[in-house]
Amino acid sequence: GAGVSQTPSNKVTEKGKYVELRCDPISGHTALYWYRQSLGQGPEFLIYFQGTGAADDSGLPNDRFFAVRPEGSVSTLKIQRTERGDSAVYLCASSVTGPPYNEQFFGPGTRLTVL
Amino acid sequence: GIQVEQSPPDLILQEGANSTLRCNFSDSVNNLQWFHQNPWGQLINLFYIPSGTKQNGRLSATTVATERYSLLYISSSQTTDSGVYFCAVGADSNYQLIWGAGTKLIIKP
């Protein structure tokens, strides 16, 4: 079946602009995660959804970052007033159930560049 | 929180060689995954292995949970095995996966 998909694959924006990144999880997966990866480092956790609710948003760096999953499937990560430091690859993952016994499957990522 | 250490940080091998990558973790875990991040950035699941041994073709993995380490074995390396190998763990106290810094593997033809 289809894996996790993310759109767009690349996004270039100017400092101060608003961006939305979309994640389509594997069908039937109830848990969804957002991570951020900077060059040369491992992924950094941002937020975890179980169904429609954000069960853990402790990784969101500040209030410019927000994510939703209104119908328990597709999720959107929203970044307001983008800064150059937000440039990274944003990864989405999904799993059949939530933690702790959860094998996570990752999408191809969205490469965000803030000029 | 849990600390995850991977070794070696870098590994350069000739095609056909075998290799062992190690992942040490500082506390009990109930989720451990190995990933391969290819040169295009895609994270590919290799193993979900909180304990025991699994094999998939030329790759195998062993996790000894009581001693807090996991090993990934790659046999008869191919150039397509190049990339970064990540170990990531999860525990009751964490919703997110905690990641090691990765092992960068280069396979030369």
Q: Which residues of A touch B89 (CB under 8 A)?
A: none
The answer to whether B74 and B91 have CB atoms below 8 angstroms apart is: no
Q: Which residues of B touch A33 (CB under 8 A)?
A: 96-97
* Nearest CA among A44, A54, A104, A98 for reference residue A75: A54
Q: Do A109 and B100 touch (CB under 8 A)?
A: no
Q: Do A102 and B102 touch (CB under 8 A)?
A: no
> Chain A closest CA to B1's CA: distance in Å?
14
Mean pLDDT for all residues in chain B: 94
In degrees and rounded to multiples of 5, residue B40 shows phi and psi of: -90, 0
* Nearest CA among B8, B39, B2, B24 for reference residue B87: B24
| pLDDT-based confidence at residue A14 (cuts at 50, 70, 90) | very high
What pLDDT was estimated at residue B95? 66
What pLDDT was estimated at residue B81? 96
> Chain B closest CA to A64's CA: distance in Å?
21
Q: Do B90 and A48 touch (CB under 8 A)?
A: no
Q: Is the pLDDT of residue A1 over 60?
A: no
Q: Do A42 and B99 touch (CB under 8 A)?
A: yes
> Chain A closest CA to B25's CA: distance in Å?
15
Distance (Å, whole) CA A6 – CA B54: 30
Q: What is the CA radius of gyration of chain B?
A: 13
CA dihedral A11, A74, A43, A110 (to 10 degrees): -20
Distance (Å, whole) CA B42 – CA A106: 8
Of B30, B88, B99, the CB nearest to A101: B30
What pLDDT was estimated at residue B39? 85
Lowest-confidence region among A76-80, A109-113, B42-46, B83-87: B42-46
Distance (Å, whole) CA A88 – CA B18: 33
Q: Is the pLDDT of residue B93 over 90?
A: no
Q: Please calculate the CA angle B70-B37-A65 and round it to the nearest 5 degrees.
A: 105
Q: Which residues of A touch B101 (CB under 8 A)?
A: 41-42
B41 touches chain A (CB under 8 A): yes
What pLDDT was estimated at residue B94? 62
> Chain A closest CA to B78's CA: distance in Å?
23
What pLDDT was estimated at residue B80? 94
Distance (Å, whole) CA A4 – CA B93: 26
Q: Do A100 and B30 touch (CB under 8 A)?
A: yes
Distance (Å, whole) CA B75 – CA B93: 35
In degrees and rounded to multiples of 5, residue A86 shows phi and psi of: -80, -10
Mean pLDDT of all residues in B2-17: 96
Q: Per mean pLDDT, which of A38-52, A67-81, B94-108 is the most reliable?
A: A67-81
Of B30, B91, B97, the CB nearest to A104: B97
